[in-house]
């Protein structure tokens, strides 16, 4: 179980995204994806899964996940990846 306490440091490694997406779309997010240890590769997988789900409007490249900061305008749109 992953716990998210804030929408910057807790989500920038992509683990929370994949965990949530695996619950919403287990037919797309595989166990191998959940086991990926490399944050960049994990971010690429998130983008791929989001594209398959048709929900990659705001987060379109791995850097959108990996480089989010408190000042980033994307910190407010991270959840929109799931919508």
Tell me, what's the pLDDT at 55?
A: 83
Please tell me the distance from the alpha carbon of residue 54 to that of residue 71, in angstroms, as a whole number: 27
69 pLDDT above the threshold of 80: no
The whole-number pLDDT of residue 20 equals: 87
Average pLDDT, the chain: 79
**Whole-prediction pTM value?**
0.74
Cα(10)–Cα(16) distance, integer angstroms = 8
């Amino acid at each position: 179980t992953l716990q998210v306490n804030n929408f910057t440091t807790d989500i920038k490694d992509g683990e929370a995204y994949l965990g949530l997406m695996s619950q919403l779309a287990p037919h797309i997010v595989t166990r191998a994806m959940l086991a990926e240890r490399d944050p960049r590769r994990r971010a690429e997988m998130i983008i791929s899964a989001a594209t398959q789900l048709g929900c990659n409007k705001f987060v379109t490249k791995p850097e959108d996940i990996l480089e989010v900061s408190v000042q980033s305008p994307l910190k407010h749109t991270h959840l929109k990846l799931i919508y």
